[in-house]
Amino acid sequence: MTAPLPSGLEASIPLTRGPHELPARFSSSPNPTARPRARRRPHQGLLIGVLGGAAVIAALGITQLSANLGYDAAADRFADTLRTATAITSETAHTRDVLTRATDAGHVILDAGSAQIAVPEETVSALSTAVAEGEEAGAVAEKLLATALPSPEEKPVWFWELFGASAALVEDESALDELAQELETASESAVEAEEAVQESGLGVLTAAGEAAAGFETAHPSARNDAVIALRSAAADALAATTVDDDAATTYVALQDAGAQVIATESEEMAEKSGPLRGARLEIEAFARSLAPGVLLEFDWSPVVNGAGYNGSMGGYTTWWWDDPGRANIELSNSVAEQWPAERSKALVAHEVGHAISVKCEDMYDASTQDSIEKWATAWAISMGYTDDANGVWAYGYPPQEYIDAAAGCR
């Protein structure tokens, strides 16, 4: 008897009975005896694509690295060249400035001319040529210095930009190197030009300084202040070692002093004009011959020191102890009227005795007027002028020790 099944299961369980035999192998295959199929391999195209992509990536990486390295090398070379060019630029700017100062000073010297203190024409011409050539060299340097030095931009990122930037750096490096060479040549030319200006400019200063002594001798009637200025400027000109603003100023001062020598002599000659001019100039030359090295300046008047009329003669001397020794001698017109009488010479010798004391201030007592006058009288006597107009008539005969001391003052 068969037991009833639960409701709903009748369709899924066969009603027949029999033995349960399991298959030797479970399989979803409809054909349990068929061989299992092999697993599929990946597609070859995909593998090739992957490998190709890797190769491209590797190539791009190598290219990027190469571009970076190439740029860095170009940048290093450019930086080295830029440092060199910058240093040469600074050097050229310095030599240009030195040259400019020299040529500017040379222009001042040339503009001052040599109308007063004569300088050989060839010496002046040499300076003129050197200044002109120096200005040309300076202009070349100036033009090169105005060229802006290139500077690298910020380093690019990608290789295609790096390659272009590297090429630009190479071009800039080449241009910099060429500019540096031109600047170096310009600097050397500036140095040579500046040396030429120095040599020729100092030649002018030296020639003028050496000519000053002869110029002074040719103008004996110039006033002392003008002569002192001339000597000072001449000494400065001879001491100059560099043609610069100071040297140019010195040269101008020397020529100006020469002009003052001429001007003051002209004024003095105008004051000495008239019938006594010849005698006055002879007396002044005589006085200078008695006191070489002492600057003497003369003034003439009808009356000096209370004398000058009725055959009397008057003289008065003012002297300065400082260097250079100088004095101003005033003489009455009567000294020239009686020239070349011995009494005129004796009186002039007495006045020169006062003037020359600037060379012998330690030889006598200058604290009293009596001692001062006896010294001047003794000096005239020591020079051989024995007429009483030598000071004996006015101040008495000096002590022998004064005469002996005065004989050592020349």
Q: Are 361 and 319 in contact (CB under 8 A)?
A: no
* Domain assignment present for 30: no
Together in a domain, 244 and 295:
no
* Domain assignment present for 149: yes
Together in a domain, 292 and 174:
no
Together in a domain, 207 and 346:
no
Q: What is the per-residue burial (b if ≥16 Cβ within 10 Å, else e) of 391-408? A: bbeebeebeeebbebbee
* Domain assignment present for 375: yes
Together in a domain, 115 and 238:
yes
Together in a domain, 199 and 84:
yes
Together in a domain, 202 and 337:
no
User: In which domain, by residue range, is 333 found?
Assistant: 273-406
Q: What is the pLDDT of residues 54-105, one digit of tens each?
A: 777 777 778 877 777 888 888 888 888 888 899 999 999 999 999 999 999 9
* Domain assignment present for 25: no
Together in a domain, 171 and 105:
yes
Region of 305 please: left (phi>0), alpha (psi -120 to 50) or beta.
left
Residues in the chain, pLDDT under 50: 1-30
Together in a domain, 195 and 130:
yes
Q: What is the pLDDT of residues 282-293, one digit of tens each?
A: 999 999 999 999
Q: Are 197 and 130 in contact (CB under 8 A)?
A: yes
Q: What is the per-residue burial (b if ≥16 Cβ within 10 Å, else e) of 28-66? A: eeeeeeeeeeeeeeeeeeeeeeeeeeeeeeeeeeeeeee
What's residue 58's pLDDT?
75
pTM: 0.77
Together in a domain, 83 and 226:
yes
Together in a domain, 154 and 82:
yes
* Domain assignment present for 40: no
* Domain assignment present for 357: yes
Together in a domain, 70 and 199:
yes
What's the number of domains the chain is made of?
2
Together in a domain, 157 and 298:
no
Please, what is the end-to-end C-alpha distance for the chain in angstroms? 184
